[in-house]
Amino acid sequence: LTAALGASSSHGREGRVSEWNGRYEAKVGPALRRQLSDTARARRASQTHPVIVRVRRDLFETLEASGPSRSSPNALATVHGYAARLTARQIEELSQSDQVEYVSRDEVIRPAGKPARGGGGGSTESSLNPFTSTLGIAQKFKGQNLTNLMGFDGSGVTVAVLDSGIFQHYDFQGTSRMLARLDFTSGEPLLDEDEDPYGHGTHVAGIIGGRGFKSNGQHTGLAPGVDFVSLRVVGPDGIGLTSNLIRAIDWVIANQDAYGIRVANLSLGHAATESYTDDPLCLAVGRMVEAGIVTVVSAGNLGKTAEYPKIWGAITSPGISPAVITVGAANTRATETQSDDVATTYSSRGPTVDGLFKPDLVAPGNRVPSTTFNTSTLAANYPDLAVDNYYTLLSGTSMATGYVTGTVALMLEANPELTPRMVKAILMLTATKMTEAHPLEQGNGLLNAFTAVELAAAVDVVSQSIHGAVSPRRDLNGETVWAGGAFAFGDQVVYSDLVDSSRLGQLWGDGTTWSEGWVWSDGTVWTDGLFEPESVFWADGFLWSDAFFWTDAFFWSDTTVWSDGFLWSDTFLATEGYFWSDGFFWSDSSLTFDAQGAHDFAGDP
The residues that are catalytic are 163, 200, 398
What CA–CA distance (Å, rounded) separates 587 from 473? 10
What CA–CA distance (Å, rounded) separates 249 from 264? 9
Query: Position 49: which residue type?
Result: H
**Contact assessment for residue 157 and residue 263, using Cβ atoms and an 8 Å cutoff:** yes
Burial group, residue 281, by CB count within 10 angstroms (0-12, 13-18, 19+): buried
User: Using N-to-C axis directions, what is the helix angle for 242-259 and 280-290, rounded to 10°?
Assistant: 10
Single out the residue of 503, 495, 368, 513 nearest to residue 444, CA to CA: 495
Which H/E stretch holds residue 269?
strand 268-269
Which H/E stretch holds residue 504?
helix 504-508
| Three-state secondary structure string covering 185-246 | CCCCCEECCCCCCCCHHHHHHHHHHCCCHHHCCCCCCCCCCCEEEEEECCCCCCCEEHHHHH
C-alpha dist (Å) from residue 116 to 203, 226, 332, 604: 13, 27, 14, 9
Q: How many CB atoms lie within 10 A of CB 540?
A: 15
The end-to-end CA distance of the chain, in Å, is 46
| Three-state secondary structure string covering 26-56 | HHECHHHHHHHHHHHHCCCCCCEEEEEEEEC
Q: How many CB atoms lie within 10 A of CB 137?
A: 27
**Contact assessment for residue 354 and residue 276, using Cβ atoms and an 8 Å cutoff:** yes
What CA–CA distance (Å, rounded) separates 52 from 29? 10
Sign of CA dihedral 515, 518, 520, 523: positive
129: Cα separation from own chain's centroid: 24
Which H/E stretch holds residue 162?
strand 158-163
What CA–CA distance (Å, rounded) separates 74 from 97? 20
537: Cα separation from own chain's centroid: 20
User: Using N-to-C axis directions, what is the helix angle for 449-458 and 397-414, rounded to 10°?
Assistant: 30
User: Which DSSP letter does residue 286 get?
Assistant: H
Torsion, Cα 281 287 290 293, to 10 degrees, reads -70
